Structure 1
Amino acid sequence: MIGHNGISSGNIEVREIKMFLLGIAFLFVSTAMQAGSYTDSLATHTNMPYGRAAGEELLLDIYEPQGEGPFPVAIYVHGGGWTGGDKANPDDAPVLEMLTKAGFAWFSINYRLAPEHRWPSCLDDVQTAIRWVKANAANFKGDPSRIALVGYSAGGHLASFAATVVDETVRIQAVVGYAPLTDFVQELPKRGNILGRAQRGLLNRPQELTLESLGMLKALSPINYIRPGLPPFLLIHGDTDQSVPYEQSLLFQTKLRTNGVRCDLITLPGAPHRLTEWNKHLPNYSDQVMAWLKETINSPPR
């Protein structure tokens, strides 16, 4: 069909559709690029090596505050079910923004992921990062005697576990767990008494629960290593979390307190597991986290 200007209207429609699709593709790529670099934009040093393991370079990003310091230090461990995630994931940006606002020198780490690297590779890397930060924090205006270990979801599990390790070289002064998984056995009924995809990848075990895999899940659970003398904990958890049961934080808090360890809990009413949605449910929760951190490791006010 020919339009009144002598150009095929069919060709015009095809061209317009192509232009529309190209515009959508450009918007998608542009958004993805911005998302991938968003957290990087918070850091003042990116992709700094902190170790090497199994032929893989271990990298971290650093935020170095302005001013003389020394500033309190936070080591951030990202989530992702032990099989995914990244130190520059924009979903983790709310935590890093909070630490920046609170005046911390922070170190956001990558660690080896399953299933290529099975347990305890990820834990080993967290401990390597703690030792590296202790040795190098002063070079970035950080105070190595005031370190908080912070983690979300699987990263919260690793942070909580690392805090229980009996080794002065990895001892830190505070732990903040954002919806941390602290008891693999407690969540089994929720999963139908089978291993989830992340657990199978982490442990290299079949879906069906066996006595061997049950023992491994117990060994992976930070709640089984609680003892007197651990650093203070702060837990933040949504009470409608469908990925990590809210009850885990309640039980973890109870056991810590029973052992004389300080543990505070910020409950997010109606909040799911996804960190980026929490502010909708409790808009001032980050202020509460900052206040707790400043009090706990004596951070100077900003």
Structure 2
Amino acid sequence: MNNNEKILHVLDSFETIQEELKKYRDVLEQRYDFVNQQKSNHMDFILNMNDLKKKLVERKEQEKLIKAYFELGEKEVKKAMELNEDRRVLDQMLEQLLVMFQKGRIDEDLIEEGLRKYPANSGIGIVLKAIDEEEIEDFIPAEDFESAMEYIKYYSQGITAFREFDPEDVIHDLNNLKEWCEGYEVDDSGLDYLISIMEIEEEMPDKPDPTDILELIHDARNPIAYISRGYTVLEYYKPYISAMNHLRRVLREKREYRSVLNASNRLEKAVSELDAYYREHYLQAGGMPRNTKANISRYIKEAE
């Protein structure tokens, strides 16, 4: 075979390889997109869970403040009760407030009634107003708080653990956590988004088999069609051989999308430059190249 035929063999072989390689890459790209989406989903989980954790910690601090108001309120009520006792005035409201402060339970109706009865500048009035402005209807029990924090910790694990989560279990747990947040009036706005993420049913495609492409590469690299001479053509042919060998290694190692894409681009660049060289130096005055496929077949038969 002369160099003209060998170059045409390269160009024709590449067309076939390129077609199969695109199908192969498309599947790898789907896997690549799936993995990236998983990473994005995982980051969304981390961010939203951290946000919820922050809200719960702030809620606990808010509750501590209210409990401090309760202690102050208890002192103010006792002072008022002593004063009333000196004046022999019966005040059932004070007794009810004292019970509320001592038990540490919020009674919104009682607080509203107390605000109407006691002046805003009185000790009791100031305490009741401060509690009312915190806008909490109930304290979160320590056991419930720890349970919610365990949910948050579990769903804030690393990407490896996240990939093993069962979507149905996650949705179930998130709905429970959402219901829990609503019960204690904790902002759960991020949970709806996380649930919507897990409701999208997608699976990672299986890794494609590169065997067919490797066979095409093997045929393209037939020793009969190897260019060993030609001062100028070797400058374009050697990068092609190097790129082809690199692609073959990448496929054999079954690497993922980015590696295959880079190897493919490298090969396409080498072939494109070889093709440009061929058109400039081998095709003259509109002459048509010979039938490469027929020629390579003939030379293979002769070699056998």
TM-score, length-normalised on structure 2?
A: 0.21
TM-score, length-normalised on structure 1?
A: 0.21
* Structure 1 or 2: more helix by fraction: 2
* Structure 1 or 2: more strand by fraction: 1
Q: Which has the larger radius of gyration?
A: 2
